[in-house]
C-alpha cells in the first residue's frame, strides 16, 4: 500500500455487492473488524452503489453511518441534513436527507431501453420487464428486498442475449445516440444518464472539502462500473472477485489500483485495516 496523507481527513468510498457485501449472501460479517476500525478512527465511509435509495438507506442505518451515500451508479447523492445542511446549498432538503440529482429521469432511460429492444436482433430484458419474484430469483434476494431494488429513479439494469463484440458495439452506439451512459456491473448492464460513480464522487469531494478541509480519498470496488469511482480517488483498490481474480477490465483501466489478496468482504477488510495501520505508522511495506 502506497504512502498515505496522514494529515488529511480520510474518506472511503465503497461499492457494495461483491465488495463490502458478499456477492452471493450479501453478508458483511467478514468486514466487521474494518468497519469498527473506521468508526474508531472517525473516518467517513460513503456507500456508492447501483442500488436504490430504498435499498441503501436501511443499510446505512444498520451500519450506524452518519454519512452521505451515492445511489444508482451516481444518479443521486443523499446527505444527512444534521451534518451537511450548513455546507450544501445545492441539495433539495426533505426530512433528514438532502438530495443532489445528477442522473437522467427514468422515463428517458426507459425510452432508450425500448429503442434497444427494437433495434437489436437479440433479446434485451430490463428490470422493468420482470416481476419482483423473477428479480428475487435471479439475484438471490428476498421478495421484499427485490421490491426495494425495483424502486429505481435513474438507472435501469438489463441483460442482453449475446456477448458478441459486434452486438455490444451496436448496443453502445445506440445508447450514445440517446446521450445516455452504459456500464456493466457484476450481473447486469446498467443504462443511465450522463453521470456515473466518478462524477458523484467528484461532486461529493467538493462538498467534503467545504466540510472538512483537506481530504484523502480511497475507493474500493470490484467491477467495471466502479472504474469511474476508482479513477476519481487518491487511492483506488480492487477487491478480487469470487473467481479469485480481479476484474480484468478494471485492472487494465486503473493500472495504479492496489489489488487485495482476499475476495469480497474478506479483501475489503484486509485493505481497510492496512490503510488504517499505515496512517498510524504501523505498516512496513
Residue 47 and residue 66 in contact, taking contact as beta carbons nearer than 8 Å: no
Which of 7, 15, 17, 247 is the catalytic position? 15
- Please say if 15 is a catalytic residue: yes
Q: Alpha helix (H) ranges present in the chain?
A: 32-40, 53-62, 81-84, 106-119, 132-139, 143-149, 165-177, 197-212, 227-231, 248-253, 264-279
* Three-class DSSP category at 62: helix
Buried b (16+ CB within 10 A) or exposed e, 138-156: ebebeeebbebbbebbbbb
Parallel, antiparallel, or unpaired for β 97-101 and 92-94?
antiparallel
3-state secondary structure at position 87: helix
Nearest Cα neighbor of 221 from 213, 231, 211 is 231
Q: What's 153's DSSP letter? A: S
Distance between CA atoms of residues 209 and 179, nearest Å: 31
Residues near 93 by beta carbon (within 8 Å), at least 6 away in sequence: 81, 85
Q: Which residues are marked as active site? A: 15
Amino acid at each position: 500500500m502506497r504512502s498515505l496523507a496522514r494529515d488529511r481527513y480520510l474518506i472511503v468510498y465503497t461499492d457494495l455487492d461483491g465488495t463490502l457485501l458478499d456477492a452471493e449472501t450479501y453478508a458483511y460479517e467478514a468486514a466487521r473488524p474494518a468497519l469498527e476500525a473506521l468508526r474508531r478512527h472517525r473516518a467517513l465511509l460513503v456507500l456508492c452503489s447501483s442500488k436504490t435509495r430504498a435499498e441503501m438507506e436501511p443499510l446505512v442505518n444498520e451500519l450506524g453511518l452518519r454519512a452521505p451515500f451515492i445511489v444508482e451508479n451516481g444518479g443521486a447523492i443523499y446527505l444527512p441534513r444534521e451534518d451537511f445542511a450548513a455546507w450544501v446549498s445545492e441539495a433539495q432538503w426533505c426530512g433528514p436527507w438532502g438530495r443532489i440529482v445528477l442522473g437522467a429521469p427514468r422515463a428517458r432511460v426507459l425510452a432508450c431501453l425500448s429503442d434497444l429492444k427494437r433495434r437489436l436482433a437479440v433479446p434485451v430484458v430490463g428490470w422493468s420487464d420482470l416481476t419482483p419474484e423473477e428479480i428475487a430469483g435471479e439475484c438471490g434476494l428476498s421478495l421484499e428486498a427485490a421490491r426495494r431494488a425495483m424502486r429505481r429513479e435513474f438507472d435501469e439494469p438489463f441483460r442482453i442475449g449475446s456477448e458478441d463484440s459486434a452486438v455490444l458495439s451496436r448496443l453502445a452506439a445506440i445508447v450514445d445516440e440517446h446521450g445516455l451512459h452504459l456500464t456493466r456491473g457484476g450481473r447486469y448492464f446498467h443504462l443511465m444518464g450522463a453521470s456515473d460513480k466518478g462524477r458523484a464522487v467528484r461532486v461529493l469531494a467538493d462538498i467534503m472539502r467545504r466540510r472538512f478541509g483537506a481530504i484523502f480519498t480511497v475507493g474500493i470496488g470490484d467491477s467495471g462500473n466502479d472504474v469511474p469511482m476508482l479513477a476519481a480517488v487518491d487511492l483506488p483498490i480492487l477487491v478480487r472477485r469470487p473467481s479469485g481474480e480481479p476484474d480484468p477490465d478494471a485492472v487494465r483501466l486503473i493500472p495504479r489500483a492496489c489489488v487485495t489478496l482476499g475476495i469480497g468482504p474478506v479483501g475489503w477488510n484486509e485493505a481497510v485495516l492496512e490503510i488504517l495501520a499505515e496512517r498510524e505508522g504501523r505498516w512496513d511495506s
